[in-house]
Amino acid sequence: MVKDKSTASVRITTQFRSGKSMMYDLSCEDNRLTVEIAPSENDAGQQAFTAAAHARQSPERPSITEPGPTRAEALRAVGRAWAAKNGAFGFPTVDWEQVGQALHAVRAI
């Protein structure tokens, strides 16, 4: 059977609240990813957000946390930082555009 490229290869398997954070477990083809999005404050005391992501199946459990003025911007910052690792230190390749689409579909960002 040929895999349909139009089908999203990233899907949310679990979502739950942990304190003030929302946690999302995602299946990204061969990788398992957990994304946490939480409200925070920026240096000026204004509402902001922090996004964190870690790969669950890697022995190193690589993790990145980045702030942003919105949930979507914080997630994009995590995606940029993750991609900059370019597979080093146990960071698997992740399609952050599809991660964003999956989270947007459930109004997470």
Helices (H), the chain: 71-84, 96-105
Q: Say what the pTM is.
A: 0.85
Give pLDDT, residue 8.
Answer: 53
Range name among 3-7, 43-47, 89-93 with the lowest pLDDT average: 3-7
Provide the 3-class DSSP secondary structure of residue 23. strand
Q: Are 53 and 35 in contact (CB under 8 A)?
A: yes
Distance CA 78, CA 102 (A): 15
Domains of the chain by residue range: 10-105
Higher pLDDT: 29 or 104? It is: 104
7-53 pLDDT, tens digit each: 558 999 999 999 999 999 999 888 899 999 999 987 777 889 999 99
